[in-house]
Amino acid sequence: MLTEVLLSMGFDTISGHFTSREMSGEGKVVSVTGASGFIASWLVKLLLQHRYTVKATVRDPNDPKKTQHLLSLDGAQERLHLFKADLLEEGSFDSVVDGCDGVHTASPVALEAINPQTELIDPALKGTINVLRSCSKVPSVKRVVVTSSLASVLFTGEPVTPEVLIDESWFSDPVLCKESKQWYVLSKIAEEAAWNFSKENGIDMVTINPGWVIGPLLQPTLNLSAEQVLNLINGAQTFPNISSWWVDVRDVANAHIQAYEIPEASGRYCLVEGIYTILRY
């Protein structure tokens, strides 16, 4: 069953990567929130390649560090429109999603925060719900694809051993996350709230739950996974050589598009290319 689902989403079992399906976004309009981020930048790039018109939000459209790499993409001049939007402001996304066929939304990534509530939890929870609330007002939106994380799946207190089956029904335990101060993981509990809201408001929603995302950068600033690699290159004396679930950013971006384009796609999709230690990767 899993193989059939992966194949239907364009997964090449020989190369181990998602491939682009021959589907065109010509004439379709989609929205991408937080477009200057690591995954979202690649998503914008691939959507433009698929000939979609993209309405993308950034914190400051006048900041070249946030926008220049997007504006220089092929097709951007003709089909990329940038908007300023605030995740915490209700109604901020109304004009962005208006007229869109699909919406892709994500939230911040950080393992440490001085104020977890304002830096991680509020943007993830309130931000996601605010985007969904805007989508609920627009009849043109056919599907919303939410970028979540394996972090919203794995922290349950159950041992992760070969005998334990992990699937899309798992949600991380918020009490356990608070007790262990796993604030980033706690922020991903926003996914469960998003599912509740989407069901109550009749929104067709799919979530993408990738592991540790790595790959080439489009944005000029380092993201968290790139910082870890740079530390190794710069000769860091110590680093946590732990096993983790890795996946290529290009596969993650492609999976978002497949989740939107394929009518049969539904529920949650956990994306993992392999399990490696940092040294092996």
> Could you read off the pLDDT of 213-262 as tens digits, one per residue?
889 999 877 666 666 666 666 666 666 666 677 899 999 999 999 999 99
What's the token pair of residue 147?
Answer: 């970028």
- Residues 6 or more apart whose CB falls under 8 angstroms from that of 175 comprise none
CA separation, residue 229 to residues 48, 272, 275 (Å) = 29, 19, 16
On whether the CB atoms of residues 29 and 266 are closer than 8 A, the answer is no
More confident residue, 234 or 272: 272
Each residue's pLDDT tens digit, 97-116: 999 999 998 766 655 566 76
On whether the CB atoms of residues 86 and 92 are closer than 8 A, the answer is yes
How confident is the model at residue 64, as a pLDDT? 92
Give kind and range of the element (H or E) at residue 205.
Answer: strand 205-210
How confident is the model at residue 4, as a pLDDT? 37
How confident is the model at residue 123, as a pLDDT? 75
Q: Token match 């899993």: residue?
A: 2
Least confident stretch, 87-96, 225-234, 269-278: 225-234
How confident is the model at residue 1, as a pLDDT? 35
Query: 219: domain CATH number?
Result: 3.40.50.720
Q: Which domain holds residue 225?
A: 2-16+25-277
- Residues 6 or more apart whose CB falls under 8 angstroms from that of 74 comprise 48, 49
Confidence of residue 150 (pLDDT cuts 50, 70, 90): confident
| Structural domain count, the chain | 1
Task: List % helix, strand, coil for the chain (3-state, nearest 5).
Answer: 35, 20, 45
How confident is the model at residue 262, as a pLDDT? 96
Backbone angles phi, psi at 121, to 5 degrees: -70, -50
On whether the CB atoms of residues 245 and 150 are closer than 8 A, the answer is yes
Q: How deeply is 161 buried, as exposed, middle or buried, from its count of CB atoms within 10 A (0-12, 13-18, 19+)?
A: exposed
The model's pTM: 0.82
Confidence of residue 190 (pLDDT cuts 50, 70, 90): confident
How confident is the model at residue 149, as a pLDDT? 85
Confidence of residue 14 (pLDDT cuts 50, 70, 90): very low
pLDDT at 5 over 70: no
Give kind and range of the element (H or E) at residue 41.
Answer: helix 38-49
CA separation, residue 89 to residues 133, 141, 147, 153, 251 (Å) = 11, 20, 20, 28, 31
